[in-house]
Amino acid sequence: MVPELKLRQLRAALAVAGAGSALKAAGEVKLSAPAVLGAVSALETALGTALFERTPRGMVPNPAGVLFCRRIEAGLGQLRAAEAEIAPHRRFAGRISHVHLRALLVLLESDGFSTAARRLGLSQPALHRTARELEALVGCTLWRRQGRVIHPTPEAVRLGYRAGLLLSELRMGVDELGELAGRMTGRLCVGALPLARSKWLPHALALTLARYPMAEVSIMDGPYEEQLDALLRGRLDVILGTLRLPAPSPDIVQERLFEDSLSIVVRAGHPLAVGFDSARDKLRRGELAELSWILPPKGTPARENFAAFMAGKGVAPPPRVVECNSLVAIRALLLETDHAAVLSARQVEYELGLGHLKIMGPPLTGSAQPVGIATRAGFRSTRLCGAFLETVRTVAASL
């Protein structure tokens, strides 16, 4: 849990770390020296740990201070980036408060000022006043009304994106303070795409939790677009699964760990499976055309690979498919119907071993997909997250 940290306190701590004393830092943050000392002390109280050594010559960051000030610098850098993206000629990054950002983020996740005000525990007039103050600082409109509905402008969305990354840096900074004190109780926020869910990711997580049993883990398994948005906003640390080529954004860095291919899978009692030798036989063009299909959503790499495979065989796209991205649902449908699915053999390894499902021929031509890790550009992991990623790489190598 990240305590509510005020931007004024963060700026004061960073200025003291750079200047070496509250007196020298006072001019930079436009506060008196006693106010700077008070802000730093309030931050240390909120974090539950000292960040500076007080000496006759000034204030020197201790190891905790070095770690956390590095996160402060990265977080406040997100506000400077927002300034450059939204209003390059205005200097609002040093004037925005935590009240402004909290209101912005809640408004972006609400359907209007009334709902956001309730969530924040504020009156609507107070929230409107905060929103107007933020617009005045940024120098542009952040909300547009259409009837009774309030819509954020692109500038509001961009500022919210940067604010989310700031909070992510602070969350990881708090986790690092715990790690420094010997408490591996931080949080892993992992996005799981289909090729990571069956065995690879669970095995890596099990090994990580065996080493760090007090770690908190959050796994998101929604559509790729939702996971990508969460990663870019700092709500996920990493995404594991099929990589997108090219990378979907210059802000995304991808690491290829292995390749996986797709196969046609049916239940063992499927009419076409009887007497079929997966090592020797291939489905004929007419058999492919007659099959009923369970396929991943349009736009996914697996769906595109399937379309290319069928086109290469001269088979028209199936007119009706069951579109599904849930492996649990796909397994159940395969076992109860004569549908065929396009899956990696690793995703149904257990059912294949039990003889419940059967692979129909070799992997689809041209279906090899790069699988690996996606993170944000410039992402600096905590010790816990770093240990998890090393375990992910080790498990992937064993595949």
Q: What is the pLDDT of residue 146?
A: 81
**Residue 337 covered by a domain:** yes
**The predicted structure's pLDDT at residue 399:** 80
Task: State whether 152 and 248 are in the same domain.
Answer: no
Specify whether the backbone of 30 is left (phi greater than 0), alpha (psi in -120 to 50) or beta: left
Contact assessment for residue 262 and residue 321, using Cβ atoms and an 8 Å cutoff:
no
Say if 163 falls within a structural domain. no
Query: How far is the CA of 341 from the CAs of 192, 293, 303, 358, in angstroms?
Result: 20, 6, 11, 11
Do 251 and 268 reside in the same domain of the chain? Answer: no
Quick: pLDDT tens for 340-387. 999 999 999 999 999 999 999 999 998 999 999 999 999 999 999 999
Strand pairing report for 339-343 and 263-267: antiparallel
pTM above 0.85, yes or no: yes
**Rounded to an integer, what is the distance from CA 120 to the centroid of its chain?**
25
Whether residues 229 and 151 share a domain: the answer is: no
pLDDT value at position 123?
Answer: 94
169 in a structural domain? no
Same domain assignment for residues 212 and 238: yes
| Residue 324 backbone phi and psi in degrees, to 5 | -150, 140
Residue with token string 């927002």: 82
Rounded Cα distance between 245 and 298, Å, is 16
Around 398, how many Cα atoms within 13 Å sit in the side-chain half-sphere? 11
Residue 368 pLDDT: 92
**Residue entry with tokens 């129909």:** 360
> What pLDDT does residue 2 have?
62
Round to whole Å and give the CA distance between 197 and 43.
40
Q: What is the CATH number of the domain that holds 23?
A: 1.10.10.10
| 299 and 355 belong to one structural domain | yes
Give 218-275 pLDDT, tens digit per residue: 999 989 999 999 999 999 999 999 999 899 999 999 999 999 999 999 999 999 999 8
| DSSP line for 93-127 | TTT--HHHHHHHHHHHTSSSHHHHHHHHT--HHHH
Residue among 237, 231, 220 nearest 172 (CA): 237
Please indicate, yes or no, if residue 124 is contained in any of the structural domains: yes
CATH number of the domain that residue 216 is part of: 3.40.190.10
Same domain, 281 and 392: no
Same domain, 337 and 356: yes
Q: Is residue 236 part of a domain?
A: yes
Tokens of 303: 């769906």
Would residue 171 count as lying in a domain?
no
252 with 267, same domain: the answer is no
Query: Is 51 in contact with 62 (CB distance < 8 Å)?
Result: yes
d(CA 52, CA 59): 6
**378: alpha, beta or left? (left if phi > 0; alpha if psi -120 to 50):** left
Residues of the chain below pLDDT 70 = 1-3
User: Which residues constitute the domain of residue 11?
Assistant: 7-158
- Residue 288 inside a domain? The answer is yes
Same domain, residue pair 142 and 23: yes
Are 247 and 376 contained in the same domain?
A: yes
What 8-state DSSP symbol labels residue 269? T
Residues 360 and 281 in one domain: yes
Q: Are residues 250 and 268 in the same domain?
A: no
CATH number of the domain to which 350 belongs: 3.40.190.290
- Whether 222 maps to a domain, the answer reads yes
Of 143, 158, 173, the one marking the end of a domain is 158
Domain count, the chain: 3
